[in-house]
A = this chain, B = another copy of it.
Amino acid sequence: MFSGTEPWSDGVTDNEGSLTEREVQRIVGLIEALERSSFDGLEVEIDGLKLTLGRGGTAGSSAASLSPNVRLPSQSAAPPAKTAAPQAAPPTAPAKAPAAKPQGAAQPGALEVRAPLRGIFYGRADPSSPPFVTLGAKVSAISTIGLVEVMKVFNAVPAGHEGEVVEICAEDGQAVEAGQVLLRIASGKASA
């Protein structure tokens, strides 16, 4: 059984640049090469990148104590490396995080409103004000659904879609990543 991990060794390297598409392809190439071979494990470190491949759970066990980030395939009954590998792509520095995957169970047809950048989400203009939107509220594409503050600069987040708010996914005052889903909107037609 394959178990791949990217133990970016410690906190410092964790924060650095992201794994590009091409790098993933290359890593897959390595994995497949190892797969074709009779070896049980492979470790690669190039500058910021460390790759540990293993069989029989050994790589996983050594990696478990490592980086807090990036742990992939703990899928236990996972298929062979071929499928596990592409998922290995993930990590990326917090500050430069790409769009996160949808969280929670998406409702069919629901449109997502995502954080335009990393920061602190505010669902109301100030603590004494009512929330910008509530569950069931109707919004237009230009309705402000919240603010994201980064380094003392506030950025209004527009709904981007017309419709009804069916789920609010971020709490007032919560730190959000760029691309994180803030709320979901049902029906209506998307705009802008």
Contacts and interface: CB of A to CB of B under 8 A. Distances in A.
Interface of A: 1-21, 23-24, 26-35, 37-56, 58-59, 61-63, 66, 81, 85, 88
B20 A18 contact: yes
State the majority secondary structure of interface residues on A.
Answer: mixed
Contacts of A8: 9, 11, 45, 50
A20 B19 CA distance: 10
Contacts of A41: 1-4, 52-55, 59
Given A2-B54, A18-B20, A26-B24, A35 B35 contact: no
A161 to B, nearest CB: 37
Nearest to A53: B42
A42 B47 contact: no
A27 B19 CA distance: 8
B18 A16 contact: no
A6 B66 contact: yes
A37 to B, nearest CB: 5
A26 to B, nearest CB: 5
Contact of A37 (B3, B13, B31, B50): B31
B44 A3 contact: no
Contact of A49 (B6, B17, B31): B17
